[in-house]
Structure 1
């Protein structure tokens, strides 16, 4: 099952990891260039700073499976990130998006909206299917009526142990929606349209919904040339 490893890391204060001319930027860029130069490395890497919380660097890695990712991380990946303690304070989480969202084309847009809808870890298959259908309807009735939407990918995370933001000690699984926009302003304009206002209830009314988070990221991309033929 194809997956995308993803998660934010907290950058140490005063560092600019997106500027390759800085020492910290060189560490991050070299790491991503390194992992995408390996034959068993990720197909591609997307990374960018979160607009709403600019201390968070989000990174996304496309792999053939969770097992492939874990094997690569153990055998090769650890060597490429050996200097990350000089740049990052901590990792917020490290999870995987399932094959429904693969490949996550929304990250190729100038701005990607990342929505995570959290549900109880023990959510039933029926409730899961119902939530998926409501997201699909939101895409059909809302997003597809907006000419500014460049891509939209949605699907469930593999893991069921997400920490729920604002709910200490509570764990959950997550349904993701990734939307590619030309700009943040384009997203904000969409929120004022009838298409959005008439369809957003499909998300807010999902059975078992614990919390929804949303942020924007402006991603860079590196492709693994050695895996393009796969």
Structure 2
């Protein structure tokens, strides 16, 4: 099995540039932080990016051979999803990646899980894969049901996370106005009775080299 470990964090107002390539104390701290995760013996490529709509928000993704366990002395707990295809090259190769997060109850049963997967795969095949501007899609389910639900403090769930590559945010917005999108979005309507929260945002990810372990 192959996994993508992920976590998001928000910088405080007035904090310097957190970009690991920037020559700031905060940037150097970010680089050390990323290397801490990348030093895991089963870690592959790591990706990092700011949310275009919310630049104070940052996300980290790590290719892993196994689900990443919580490291000692780290405040934030990374989660993992079983991603297909793996590795999710779209994070590194697309100019912009739409990160779609569909939150469902933590106790999702197998029948619901299978039904939801079929629905999303149908939308991917009939809509996303047919969109001329789509640069690729990877998606998967979280391995645990304790992923914090975005915008709902204290609530957790199981998440279906998808990475959809686009040439720009504008290209994604334009796709949502097409007949291709409108004709196929109904494929996801069956999710409405189970879904807790839907959120999506856009990243322009950097792919960072993993130091020698």
Q: Indicate the TM-score class for this superposition, using the shorter chain for normalisation.
A: 0.7 to 0.9
Counterpart position of 1:149? 134
How far apart in 2 are the matches of 1:129 and 1:123? 10
CA contact (8 A) 1:113 1:178 kept: yes
Counterpart position of 1:190? 175
Change (3 A) 1:6 1:41: same
Q: Do structure 1's residue 120 and structure 2's residue 105 form an aligned pair?
A: yes
Q: Which string of whole-angstrom CA distances, capped at 9 and with x for unpartnered residues, describes residues 152-202 of structure 1?
A: 011111110123334455431011111011111111111111111111222
Counterpart position of 2:5? 5
Deviation at 1:41, TM superposition (A): 5.4
CA contact (8 A) 1:118 1:211 kept: yes
Deviation at 1:104, TM superposition (A): 1.3
CA contact (8 A) 2:83 2:138 kept: no
How far apart in 2 are the matches of 1:164 and 1:34? 26
Structure 1 residues not aligned, in runs of 5+: 82-89
Counterpart position of 2:197? 211
Structure 2 residues not aligned, in runs of 5+: none
How far apart in 2 are the matches of 1:101 and 1:213? 22
Partner-residue secondary structure (3-state), 1:132: helix
Q: Which stretch of structure 1 is more off in the superposition, 99-108 or 207-216? A: 99-108
Instruction: Return the structure number with greater helix share.
Output: 1
How far apart in 2 are the matches of 1:110 and 1:130? 32
Deviation at 1:205, TM superposition (A): 3.0
Matches within 5 A, 1:58-97: 58-66=59-67, 69-70=68-69, 73-74=71-72, 91=76, 94-97=78-81
Output the TM-score relative to the length of structure 1. Answer: 0.81
Give the number of equivalent residue pairs: 209
Partner-residue secondary structure (3-state), 1:153: strand
Partner-residue secondary structure (3-state), 2:49: strand
Change (3 A) 1:46 1:193: same
How far apart in 2 are the matches of 1:173 and 1:54? 26
Deviation at 1:203, TM superposition (A): 2.5
Partner-residue secondary structure (3-state), 1:114: strand
Q: 2:87 aligns with which of 88, 103, 110?
A: 103
